Structure 1
Amino acid sequence: MGASSPTAGSVLIGLTQARLLELARGLGVTLPTSARKDAQIARLLEAAPLALPGLLGHLYRDELRAACKDHGLPADSRARAELARHLLTAAGLPPTIDVTPPPPTAVGPRDTPAPGDVVVLRRRTWLVDAVHPPIAPTDATRVALLCLDDDHQGRRTEVLWELELGARVLSERDHGLGDAGQLDPPRTFSAYYNALRWNMVTATDARLFQAPFRAGVHLMNHQLTPLKRALELPRANLFIADDVGLGKTIEAGLVMQELLLRNQIDTVLIVAPASVCPQWQREMSTRFGQAFELYNRAFVQRRRQDRGFGVNPWVTHARFVISYQTLRRPEYKEPLHQMLREGRRRTLLILDEAHTAAPASSSRYAVFSDTTRVVAELAPLFDHRLFLSATPHNGHSNSFSTLLALLDRQRFTRGVPPSARALETVMVRRLKADLRGHDVAHRFPEREVLALELTTPDAPELELARLLAEYTARVAPSRGRDRLAFINLQKRLLSSVPAFCRTLDKHAPGTAATGAPPPPEPSDDDDDDLDDELRDAAEATADAARAAALPAPDATAADLLTRLRRLALQRRELPCAKVEALVAWLRANLFTAPPGRAGRATSAAPTWNHRRVIIFTEYGDTKTYLVEQLAAALGLADDPDERDARIATFHGGMSDDQRAVVQRAWNGPPDEHPVRILIATDAAREGLNLQGYCADLFHFDVPWNPARMEQRNGRIDRALQPAPVVRCHYFVYRHRAEDVVLDALVKKVATIQRELGSLATVVQADLDRALARGIDATTLAALDGVAPEAVRVQVVTAELETQRDRARIERDLKDNARILEVSRRALDFSPALLRETLTVGLELAVDLDGAEPLAEADGAPGTFSLPALPATWQRTLDTVRPPREHDEDLWDWRRRPPLPVVFEPPAQLTEDVAHLHLSHPVTQRILSRLLAQGFSARDLTRVTALVADVAKPVALALARLSLFGPGAARLHDAIIDVAAWWDEARRGPALRPLDDADTQPLRAELDAHLHAAAKAPPQSIAKALAHGAAADFAALWPALEHEADAEADRARKMLATRARTEADAMRELLSAQEKSIQHELAGRAQLPIELTDPRERAAWLADTQAMTDRLAAISAERATEPERIAALYDVALTRVTPIGLVYLWPGKPGKPDREARS
């Protein structure tokens, strides 16, 4: 362009069209994307009065340099302000533009801080959040602070400023390294540098991950999709609707971890079924390094003992797991609401088995359950929400839309069908079938559903079934809730004779009375976590009350009932045909040699192999019966200790500790944990990991609810199942009519799971209804006739199946792999490099007295032993000890040695080793010492020298740029570097920084050779370098500040672009929601005539009112919500801190450990 005078138009012509469009959006101008560049520039200058000084403030440094070159002006300056002055002077304009905002740390010396200042006190660095002046002259100034140190970041505190010894406001004069008496060894500096790099985050690029490297998980590619989606949202409101066994817990944990790292959340609440609460607590601790408390009666009692009855237990910790049942209780729910309403911010709610909170299904219109009401009150109080469910849709559109509105009320409205576009943003939905054929397919086993046929025609169970069918035909009502007593008798008989006896004993006396009031309807929120004995007893009592309401049976019916009772009592303690077949299978598959004949104990000790099997039953009575029968048949009856060691049970009413003990033993190595048989009720059917060493499962009774069978099967058919095939067995009496029906049920369920995908939930509900009258001569035909109802199929297809786009899933998998690799390179992370870093950290943190920090275990490659550590490490070492036994004393437990540690994630579930990942408490404690260099710790001089492949000596100065948002949330981190050629004659102020082109290859040399095996130059050279290091760094610091300013400007513009994009998206979202509500309300002129149930009519009216209320709220939110989202990306503080100085000395560099750099 030559030396022409710069104008706004001549500068704009040097920008790309993509940059022009971005610049125009920032100025509120819409440009035609297909127009020529000169037409776009003309439109921009016409729509926005853009003079040259204003334009230059919007340009990046590289764009300013390019404009200077285009106009024949000097373009080699690092300072944006200087480049802008060249252009303004050439244009004949006053060079008064300020494109470099002063750093917030640049304050003059004064006594009292102001908001936004950075201060140093208590050997830490803090951001001043608020200052409260003294009320009286004798009072002190109260200052609210947020910690900026990496090892304590985001922690809040308040101090009385004048009473703090040594407190001072940090000024820009405080930058520097101080005098370096000696150089740090390269391996030590490398560990320090790694710790800093691994702790960096950025919100400018949502596609850079940290959490996968801070989790002890055997990561699967598909598990990154929810993380990617969450980071694209201003608030992480996400519905993870993956299939059973795909790892929803891990996916939610990754999202949680990333939000914690980015300081977007402080408080996390996990709500889950009671049976999986201990597992959630354990998974969050071992896999993500996060300590969660189980919120239950015992926890509340402990807190009150420690802190008094006046304290709200919810404010004493920041991470909780609570069960749905506990959350429904007012004494636990109301203090939680109080805490959240009093201003607790940066909160995350994780709702496991979220379908529990959906309005309950009925024939035409779903209605609120108690759990729906509780979650509807709680969810809006959280900033971020993650919902997890493999069965998110029950076929009712209003139920699904309500669940989605609980997740994100700005995208979804109760009663309004969700759009596919809105769902695509917040829902992740994959079935195992969708992932097969991709690189993750080999991680999931094939499932075989196997029937064990029982062909005995004269089994007593068959006679009992015949008598019961005849009795039911004579006495039971044809429909209505009084028929439920007879249905329960049938279900219990199909489970076991003892289960049948309990209800029959209650039923028989009940039939003698008449006119008894009917029992209450079962609650929508009843579940399987109640004590089995109590649940069975309550069910039997309810059945007796129903029987009492019936007319007295005639003589024939009474005789049938007597015969039923007599035969049942005779058989209740004897093995049935199912038990005999099960014992035969156990002998053939769990032993290397048969222990004896059926029903007899043997003196020969059984030789167990390493296989395990789970046996599911619906009833506690059947569970007890199975324990007794199997113990007798396998020779365990006379040795209670051996019986308890080999046969475990899992049932409702167990304490959290008991559940954890069972699950730990079940997933432990078979040569260390002798348990081989787990007999479980449906309390174990949801969410539990039971696949560690088990690939076989039996349904001793087939659940009439098909969804329960799928949930049971999911305990072993899930991720991290080491076996290629899992086998799910069930029993079929070929001569019992009821079994023919149940066999057809199992086969139909398998077919719909395979063929219908998400529609399976709709058909399963229909199958459940087909069995609602019990099993009789008409049931088989009813099952055969079950097909998805056309309307409900259309609903589920439109609202859920659209999220299973195979092409999109494939794109996501490829994208995930690419992002993970880019993130890995950005962090330069590998397990071996972490091991090197922790080795150095241990050497700095404690006196090892010559011991090796991490000695490799004998005969176990990749497994290491921690050294003996001081008593101050006890609480940290608790996280790597073997699990504590229920009755083990704390001090006895702490005398047990820590587990061996590994750095590669184990390929299967195990508790025999501890995986040290970046967020493990042991790792965090060791790295915190490195992260504190220059702040609270002084182990390093932060100056080193290493031999590298360079032509002459180089001084490379490093600094870290950090941009903080509201509440000290880190928005962006970057490492800044400036290099200069070095020689003895020209050092200190004489150093001349190199330009970017010359610095980049030198930075690459640093990255390539700064490792544990790096070579240091001779001692004489090292002493000379150390002597002038402080002056060298001071000479390069101004150039570092200019580089940091350019990077901060780039990051601020990217953050502003993201803020603008997300704010605009929220405006569009609210407009689309407004239109969808108006459209739905237009079709709700009157109550549908087919809704005859009062509860359904009330639910319909409530949904309509909710739409009206939401419509009124949108107007206000349109003015506030976009600004709230944009404010998340406001930069409150820009901070540049020294990292250190590295000298590169010419020579032959040391060779790195290939494994560490892989």
Structure 2
Amino acid sequence: MIELARHVGVFVPQRGTKAELVAALARSEQIRTRSLVGWMGRDELRAACQALGVNASSRARHELAERLLQALGDRKSAPPTGLFGAPSAQRLTPVKGDIALVRQRQYLVEDVVPPGAPNEATRVDLVCLDDDAQGVRLSVLWEIELGAKVLQPEAEGLGTVASLDPPRRFAAYFHALTWSSVTATRADLFQAPFRAGIKLLDHQLTPLKKALELPRANLFIADDVGLGKTIEAGLVMQELALRQRVDFVLVVCPAALCLQWRGEMEKRFGQRFEIMGRELVARRRRERGFGVNTWSTHNRFIVSYQTLRRPDYREPLLAHLGPRMKKSLLVLDEAHTAAPASASLYAVDSHLTSMIRDELGPRFENRLFLSATPHNGHSNSFSALMAMLDPQRFTRGVPIQAGSRALSAVMVRRLKRDLQALGKSDFPVRSVVRIALEREGDGFRARYFEAEPGKAERRAAEVALGPVGAPELELSRLLAEYTEVMKPGRGRGRLVFINLQKRLLSSVEAFHRTLSAHAARVGSGAVSADPRASQERTAAEGAQLDLRIDARGSGSPSGALRPEPPIARRPPEEDEDAYGVDDEQRDVEDAAEVASASTALAPPDGRARELLQRMLDLSRQHRHRPDAKVVALLHWLRAELCPGVSVPGGERASGAWNDRRVILFTEYGDTMRYLQKALGAAVEDTDRGDERIAVFHGGMGDEAREELQRAFNGDPAEDPVRILIATDAAREGLNLQNHCADLFHVDVPWNPARMEQRNGRIDRTLQPAREVRCHYFVYPERAEDAVLEKLVGKVERIQRELGSLGEVVMANIERALSRGIDRSTADALDEAERLPELAETTRWELESQRADAATLRRDIDEARRILGRSRKVMDFREELLRDAIDVGLDLAGAGPLVPLDEKIEGQQAFALPPLPASWDRTLDSLRRPRRRDEPEWAWRKLPPQPVVFKALDRMGEDRVHLHLEHPFVQRILARFLAQGFGAQDLSRVTVVPDDRSGEPRVIAFGRLSLFGPGAARLHDELVAVAAPFRESGEGDHLKPTGTDEDRQAVAHLEELLTRVDRLPPVPEPLRRRLAKTAAADFGVLWRHVQDEADGRAHEAAQLLAARGAEEAEDLRQILRAQRAAIEDQLNVQLGLFDHLEGDTMKAQREQLESERQDMRKRLARIEDEIRNEPAELEALYAVSLKRLSPVGLVYLWPTTSF
């Protein structure tokens, strides 16, 4: 009744009782019988007829309406006519609303402009209906457009039926149509999960469910690290694209994540993204001319934050987007980087904040933000970030209240421990392994202590390392004394000693490089620094010292030179912004910074000079020798990966490498190269020893990153790499868990968030191992290590217990460590956790959004129910897709998929049959990735990889998961979808043997499509009408009865098609006889299909109108609530910084003033938005075209009649 009142424009109480609603409608003078009957759906008309004792047996709305009007005594009103009446005569010139075939595509005619003079042509404005070019606009001059014609497939029915299709062929065609159906009438049906090559986890459906409930898909996915936010975002993108709500997508992410995004979207969702950068711009200019705007050449892009900051990329993007691009989606990964930030009282906008908020964000209709750490403790920062996401729910400077309905509507927030508490076993258990390097005589002993989350540490093992020098311990003592003597109370000079301390905790090599730079510039520079220090980073260096470890275990440089293993670097002409700073360049810059800061120090004299010289001599002597950490690593590699790894004092052994892999993380390029040399010497005599170590560093190009990741994740039997030495350039953006469950922090980063990012490379979704182990080293004798040990413990506890509060605490811990490690640092770390105001703000505004266990389980269960319901509606099964592909291959002139002897994770794998050369580009998606410098012609000779139909647990590259959006599958199914239009491979008629019924039945199918503005497909479904078949030849031999048997015929057909190969074949004489009558039989049933479609179209249009009205009203309420919140906030007195002075406080006060000014501007805009935007939103659901196309005819023939 509320919908009826809305339809006729009568105000009724939204929360009134049924009696109150009836009374309000009865008092209205605006309701007329004719309009009321025209508005009623078929079921309502039937119910009204039955209530009046009128025959309600018809399926045609117009017949029921006519009977009802007559019963009500309203004989003057004409009943509504059917939507799909008799076909009109063939026209040469289209009219608005027609379907036209132009340039081999189907278009909706939006407008027809008659010629202004006799010698002019008719202009026809078109919008494309094809799935792969939905909404693309085109204007043509009709009379001179070759091949253009008005399509009326309903007028031709099924055409001439020469022979019947085999049941399997018709089944493939039927399922292709079913799988391509979409609807916007319901938010509780999913398609994207069935059109993605992913191993779907239950919790990943919740963001999709929430996005479909929103009028604009403005959603913040704030799940924990490793829960699959990229997959969740991909599902949302896919669903919005399928519903024609999104045409243009821009993903903005850190540079290190660009390749990850492109690979995931293409492989998992069949969506091809271009990475915006110099290479793409140059390629587009070669292809299309220098003046082309690269942003206009595709509809899906990925761009890094660094690249987006550059005006030469950003300004063409803004020009392409215009004031606001329709059907656009902005995806902001690591979205917290765009939030205002400050270590002070009030967060201040960055340049990135202003750029996203003022320039980029407002130009997109939909926004999707991703971050595991959305809150930095500042209320104004969080509200600013949420206002970028949804400016109609949130406003800069207006605090977000705990339990805010506005926030819960747009945010999904789950922690890993929340899901584990529900019994989810999709995530590995992380064990933190502390390796204590304890002195033992003239050597060391490594003791392993292992701790699982929330459990006490236990001793796991111990290994005698033998005689190993301990220069790092002596250097630590000398550095502490030197710092005490030389360190100034304040100023740039303090940085020198902090950098020296950090580098010594990494390696003697890293320390020596920085110490040499310091010694060369401090005071007069008279200390005898290593004369080679200034030469070691020249481009001409092409060799390394051989660090062979002899049988006695002494590791010393032999002086022999051997080639440096190649390190892949970005092309010299490429942007540094796109690839990050090269680690070697960063080491040079750090050394230069230390050298520059050293000039501010007093010249060392006396004891200071002696200490400096002693450190230089000791570090120079030991810089190339394996330290205790390296020796412990070698023992671990020998025990866990390969018995043939050389260790000091160990016997030469042989043995094969097993399939395990390990990652070694370090903060510095100097330490990375030191490890590469030391470990390379230890493994060089093993099987393929020179291929076992790979390095990942800053400055690597796209191809090198992709190739390294593929090798490390690839099948260990094919890819020999076992050890990955990486700097923090690899701490984000790489999935490395496929065959790796062990990670070593060779040095502990002073930025605790980086440590967690490192761990996230293996501790994440789709980690096949049940346990991952994260190792780190400590020297119990070294004072600094006690602090670092405390730091590691805090990081683990923070991640386990604090949620988003962890980001606030870790930022404070980093600030505490930025002053260096001394006697007060341990207390400073404890103090860093005491952030009552910031912690309370975060807990109040964000953590209150986390659902309790019962709510979380309920959300996941509801999403699972929607998935099950969607699967039933869509009728998607992997075996049906495989059968459709086999049929499609047969139509292409090839054989079916070939089963392989091997099974992959318990499922059958298949090889593709030989296909013509015209399929080469399609088959590229099935080949292994092309390697660097591999000629395209040679790569194309490679056979396609085996295919499977279910997602694999591992993310390897050696098998391809075929899903509905895969390019190969899309090409196969496109042939079925074109039947009756561009393709004529099928007659679209079949006969199916029926072993369960004694009466023949015929089912006629039509495809009902409802289109909205811009030819957006709002609703799609197959309409079926069944009738008993009597071969008497009389006029009623096909008359639907409406019995249960007729209604269940389609479900019965589905069941028969799954086992048609096991049923008796239909005799050929019967097939020929039915082929002769098929066209006529379809014509008899077609008018019933039209009546059925009319009822369903009317119902769908009502549902769409109701959803549009509901979302429009929701938007009005959101805007009114925002207006009230702004007005309240503007009444708050501006006295927060009145008692403070200085430049920092001035900036913070200006920030607050700016936010209040923004509130006033926002308040002024809200009234216009209340008047206009709900109406625009409601218009998206307005049906502009209803279309019914013939699909096919099926005879169900009893086997007893054969």
Shift of 1:667: 0.6
Counterpart of 2:61 in structure 1 is 80
The correspondence for 1:915, drawn from 961, 979, 982, is: 961
The correspondence for 2:632, drawn from 576, 581, 588, is: 581
Relative to structure 1, the CA distance from residue 1149 to residue 579 in structure 2 (aligned partners, 3 Å threshold; closer, same or farther) is: farther
The correspondence for 2:32, drawn from 46, 51, 55, is: 51
Distance 1:561 1:104 in 2: 97
In structure 2, what residue type is equivalent to 1:129? Answer: E
Distance 2:80 2:689 in 1: 78
Distance 1:154 1:733 in 2: 65
Counterpart of 1:425 in structure 2 is 409
Residues 1:1125 and 2:1177 are matched in the alignment: yes
In structure 2, what residue type is equivalent to 1:1100? Answer: L
Counterpart of 1:533 in structure 2 is 584
SS of residue in 2 equivalent to 1:246? coil
Residues 1:991 and 2:1038 are matched in the alignment: yes
Shift of 1:24: 4.0
Distance 1:144 1:513 in 2: 80
The correspondence for 1:408, drawn from 390, 393, 414, is: 390
Asked whether the equivalents of residues 10 and 30 of structure 2 are also in contact (C-alpha less than 8 Å), the reply is no
Asked whether the equivalents of residues 1059 and 1125 of structure 1 are also in contact (C-alpha less than 8 Å), the reply is yes
Residues 1:894 and 2:877 are matched in the alignment: no
Q: Over residues 196-244 of structure 1, what are the superposed CA-to-partner deviations in whole Å (9 max), with x where a residue is unaligned?
A: 0000111111111111011100110111111111111122111111111
Number of residue pairs matched by the alignment: 1112
Distance 2:1048 2:133 in 1: 34
Asked whether the equivalents of residues 953 and 982 of structure 1 are also in contact (C-alpha less than 8 Å), the reply is yes
Asked whether the equivalents of residues 646 and 674 of structure 1 are also in contact (C-alpha less than 8 Å), the reply is yes
Residues 1:596 and 2:607 are matched in the alignment: no
Residues 1:272 and 2:253 are matched in the alignment: yes
Asked whether the equivalents of residues 81 and 97 of structure 1 are also in contact (C-alpha less than 8 Å), the reply is no
Residues 1:295 and 2:345 are matched in the alignment: no
Per mean C-alpha deviation after superposition, the further-off stretch among 296-305 and 94-103 is: 94-103
Shift of 1:79: 1.9
Matches within 5 A, 1:235-246: 235-246=216-227
Distance 2:896 2:84 in 1: 45
Distance 1:345 1:988 in 2: 52
Shift of 1:512: 2.1
Counterpart of 1:1079 in structure 2 is 1128
The correspondence for 1:1017, drawn from 1066, 1072, 1078, is: 1066
Counterpart of 2:285 in structure 1 is 304
The correspondence for 2:512, drawn from 501, 513, 519, is: 501
The correspondence for 2:419, drawn from 422, 425, 435, is: 435
Matches within 5 A, 1:459-498: 459-480=470-491, 482-498=493-509
The correspondence for 2:1147, drawn from 1069, 1089, 1095, is: 1095
Shift of 1:553: 3.9
Q: Over residues 400-453 of structure 1, what are the superposed CA-to-partner deviations in whole Å (9 max), with x where a residue is unaligned?
A: 1111111111111122222421111111111111111436x1110000111100
Counterpart of 2:551 in structure 1 is none
Shift of 1:987: 5.9
Q: Over residues 784-812 of structure 1, what are the superposed CA-to-partner deviations in whole Å (9 max), with x where a residue is unaligned?
A: 23334222122111221122112321111
Q: Over residues 976-1002 of structure 1, what are the superposed CA-to-partner deviations in whole Å (9 max), with x where a residue is unaligned?
A: 111121122236675322226452122
Distance 2:330 2:82 in 1: 38
Residues 1:219 and 2:219 are matched in the alignment: no
Counterpart of 1:394 in structure 2 is 376
Residues 1:827 and 2:874 are matched in the alignment: yes
Counterpart of 1:8 in structure 2 is none
Distance 1:329 1:136 in 2: 51
Relative to structure 1, the CA distance from residue 123 to residue 98 in structure 2 (aligned partners, 3 Å threshold; closer, same or farther) is: farther
Across the aligned residues of Structure 1 and Structure 2, the Cα RMSD in angstroms comes to 2.5
Shift of 1:858: 5.0
Relative to structure 1, the CA distance from residue 103 to residue 958 in structure 2 (aligned partners, 3 Å threshold; closer, same or farther) is: closer
Distance 1:101 1:1033 in 2: 19
The correspondence for 2:1005, drawn from 935, 949, 958, is: 958
Asked whether the equivalents of residues 114 and 130 of structure 1 are also in contact (C-alpha less than 8 Å), the reply is yes
Mark the runs of 5 or more structure 1 residues left unpaired by the alignment: 1-19, 515-524, 1151-1158
In structure 2, what residue type is equivalent to 1:1101? Answer: E
Q: Over residues 991-1016 of structure 1, what are the superposed CA-to-partner deviations in whole Å (9 max), with x where a residue is unaligned?
A: 32222645212222112212362545
Matches within 5 A, 1:133-144: 137-144=118-125
Asked whether the equivalents of residues 284 and 292 of structure 1 are also in contact (C-alpha less than 8 Å), the reply is yes
The correspondence for 2:921, drawn from 869, 875, 878, is: 875
Distance 2:38 2:370 in 1: 46
Relative to structure 1, the CA distance from residue 149 to residue 454 in structure 2 (aligned partners, 3 Å threshold; closer, same or farther) is: same
In structure 2, what residue type is equivalent to 1:1013? Answer: V
Distance 1:1029 1:527 in 2: 62
Shift of 1:316: 1.4
Asked whether the equivalents of residues 277 and 578 of structure 2 are also in contact (C-alpha less than 8 Å), the reply is no
Asked whether the equivalents of residues 162 and 1075 of structure 2 are also in contact (C-alpha less than 8 Å), the reply is yes
Asked whether the equivalents of residues 253 and 305 of structure 2 are also in contact (C-alpha less than 8 Å), the reply is yes
Distance 1:275 1:104 in 2: 58
Distance 2:978 2:930 in 1: 33
Shift of 1:105: 11
In structure 1, what residue type is equivalent to 2:210? Answer: R
Residues 1:1029 and 2:1075 are matched in the alignment: no
Shift of 1:1102: 2.0
Matches within 5 A, 1:732-1131: 732-806=778-852, 807-844=854-891, 846-848=892-894, 851-858=895-902, 862-948=908-994, 949-986=996-1033, 991-995=1038-1042, 997-1011=1044-1058, 1013=1060, 1015=1063, 1016-1086=1065-1135, 1088-1089=1137-1138, 1090=1140, 1092=1142, 1093=1144, 1094-1131=1146-1183
Shift of 1:126: 1.5
Asked whether the equivalents of residues 471 and 561 of structure 1 are also in contact (C-alpha less than 8 Å), the reply is yes
Distance 2:649 2:700 in 1: 30
Counterpart of 1:284 in structure 2 is 265
TM-score, normalized by length of structure 1? 0.92
Counterpart of 2:320 in structure 1 is 339
Asked whether the equivalents of residues 1052 and 1131 of structure 1 are also in contact (C-alpha less than 8 Å), the reply is yes
Asked whether the equivalents of residues 124 and 935 of structure 1 are also in contact (C-alpha less than 8 Å), the reply is no
SS of residue in 1 equivalent to 2:974? helix
Distance 1:564 1:711 in 2: 34
Counterpart of 2:435 in structure 1 is 452
Matches within 5 A, 1:546-561: 546-561=597-612
SS of residue in 2 equivalent to 1:456? strand
Distance 2:135 2:1187 in 1: 15
Per mean C-alpha deviation after superposition, the further-off stretch among 430-439 and 556-565 is: 556-565
SS of residue in 2 equivalent to 1:695? strand
Shift of 1:535: 1.8
Shift of 1:472: 2.0
Per mean C-alpha deviation after superposition, the further-off stretch among 176-185 and 943-952 is: 943-952
SS of residue in 2 equivalent to 1:625? helix
Residues 1:167 and 2:148 are matched in the alignment: yes
Per mean C-alpha deviation after superposition, the further-off stretch among 142-151 and 183-192 is: 142-151
Relative to structure 1, the CA distance from residue 526 to residue 488 in structure 2 (aligned partners, 3 Å threshold; closer, same or farther) is: farther
Shift of 1:538: 1.8
Shift of 1:36: 5.8
Distance 2:1178 2:1187 in 1: 21
Shift of 1:774: 0.8
Per mean C-alpha deviation after superposition, the further-off stretch among 471-480 and 825-834 is: 471-480
In structure 1, what residue type is equivalent to 2:1185? Answer: L
Shift of 1:702: 0.7
Counterpart of 2:458 in structure 1 is none
In structure 2, what residue type is equivalent to 1:588? Answer: A
Distance 1:1140 1:1065 in 2: 42
SS of residue in 1 equivalent to 2:1019? strand
Shift of 1:482: 4.3
Distance 1:104 1:715 in 2: 61
Asked whether the equivalents of residues 268 and 320 of structure 1 are also in contact (C-alpha less than 8 Å), the reply is yes
SS of residue in 2 equivalent to 1:346? strand
Distance 2:490 2:235 in 1: 50
Asked whether the equivalents of residues 504 and 510 of structure 2 are also in contact (C-alpha less than 8 Å), the reply is yes
SS of residue in 1 equivalent to 2:802? helix
In structure 1, what residue type is equivalent to 2:181? Answer: M
Relative to structure 1, the CA distance from residue 241 to residue 173 in structure 2 (aligned partners, 3 Å threshold; closer, same or farther) is: closer
The correspondence for 2:698, drawn from 652, 656, 663, is: 652
Distance 1:342 1:116 in 2: 29
Distance 1:631 1:336 in 2: 47
In structure 1, what residue type is equivalent to 2:783? Answer: A
